[in-house]
Amino acid sequence: MSTTFDILIGGAPASDFTSQLATLEVEENADAPGAFSLTLPIKLSDAGDFDAPSDPRIAPLSNIAVTAQAADGVTHCLIDGYVLSHKLHFNNGGSDSHVTVSGQDASWLMNTAEQVREWVDVTDAAVAATIFGEYSFTPADGNTDDDSPAHSESGHSLMQRATDAQFLDGLAKRSGKLCRIFCTDTPGVRTGWFAGPKLDGDPAVTLTLNGATDSNVDSIDVSWDVMRPTSVNAQQALFSAADPVGGDTADNGLAPLDAQDLPSFLGQQMSARLTATVDDGGELTTRAQAVLRDAAWFVKCEGTADAGRLGAILRVGSVVMLSAAGAVHSGKYLVWKVRHSITADAHKMAFTLVRNAVGVPSSTGGLL
């Protein structure tokens, strides 16, 4: 195959694992921890015991990373995480016996203990930066964009009664952001993402369907669902004001990826009502925008691609171009999920793309 991959354990290449590997799967998600599983054969050692199950390199909490490279020459660190489980299969006589080693990305480190902490006079991004720093994660450059107001003691301080991972995930969801830990190209160099999706810039790769000579995906499934709010009516009484604050919000703060966003494609308004404990109207607007951001991804595209044929490796959080899928559904998409299935012969990618807009208006005007 025209792609290569390496398995590193504790930062050191494990060439014997790479060469004898039966299967390797890595899953990346925009809104969930990454995970991996690798299947290795079990053989009898010279000492008469089974080798792989007792190999200290895959003991509990061993650090395993996977890097891969396609024809474009870019090295990607698909995952950098820790072993959390073994599943062993033994056949009579020993042939085709194997062990499946599974684990999770480095966000697992933030889930080992529930914390009780009060955060005072800091914004959400400052909280995220502090927590990321405690695990030697580097905060992403855009984490301070669209930041919350400071949580003051005179208003509402921020109370944490959860693991660090659970706490940051909750803060991200209520402000319309995504929270995840990943490595870009170098194992051991981990980034803490606490920001909205990055939708600007050129597409990382073009996925072409039905091209005469340049088709690089076999099939896709595209769906849309408009059963979601297009506006939010947010109201809340404040201790510091005599009258409630709030109003209607229809802007989710994200640029649409094509001509018709959800409200224009639907052709009518669907409103939700929100109340939340906040200190000012600005924070209430942020909460309302978070509801709309979650609802905005009304288009989903699922498919598979071969990294060798595509010449590139899909990564969560990047924007790609879908071509030759018709005027409505061709265009830019955000990569939301990728499941990498790697063997000695191929690197397959099952992907989920999302979109907050479609192309030219449909002939039915957006109605069924």
Do the first three CATH levels of 4-106 and 206-224+298-358 match, i.e. the same topology? yes
pLDDT at 70 over 70: yes
Q: What average pLDDT score do residues 28-57 get?
A: 88
Question: What per-residue confidence (pLDDT) applies to 245?
Answer: 60
Instruction: Give me the percent of the chain exceeding a pLDDT of 90.
Output: 70
Sign of CA dihedral 335, 340, 344, 346: negative
Question: Both tokens of residue 138?
Answer: 């580097």
pLDDT tens per residue, range 13-39: 999 898 888 899 999 999 999 999 999
User: H/E element holding 293?
Assistant: helix 281-296
Question: What per-residue confidence (pLDDT) applies to 365?
Answer: 47
Q: What average pLDDT score do residues 145-174 get?
A: 91
- CATH T-level assignment (fold) for domain 4-106: Phage tail proteins - horseshoe like beta roll fold (2.30.300)
Architecture of domain 113-195: 3-Layer(bab) Sandwich (3.55)
Which residue type does 241 have? A
Q: Can you identify the CATH homologous superfamily of domain 206-224+298-358?
A: Baseplate protein-like domain - beta roll fold (2.30.300.10)
Q: What is the DSSP letter of 150?
A: P
User: H/E element holding 322?
Assistant: strand 319-323
Query: For residue 215, how many other CB atoms are within 10 A of its CB?
Result: 14
pLDDT tens per residue, range 299-329: 999 999 999 999 999 999 999 999 989 999 9
Could you give the C-alpha distances from 252 to 15, 146, 262, 269, in angstroms and in order? 47, 12, 11, 14
Q: What is the CA radius of gyration of the chain?
A: 23
pLDDT at 1 over 70: no
The burial of 166, by beta-carbon neighbours within 10 Å (0-12 exposed, 13-18 middle, 19 or more buried), is given as: middle
pLDDT at 368 over 50: no
Q: What average pLDDT score do residues 155-168 get?
A: 93
Question: Both tokens of residue 40?
Answer: 């290795």
Sorted by where each begins, the domain ranges of the chain are 4-106, 113-195, 206-224+298-358, 231-296
Helix (H, G, I), strand (E, B) or coil at 163: strand
pTM for the predicted model, two decimal places = 0.91
Q: What average pLDDT score do residues 174-179 get?
A: 94
Q: What average pLDDT score do residues 353-368 get?
A: 73
Helix (H, G, I), strand (E, B) or coil at 247: strand
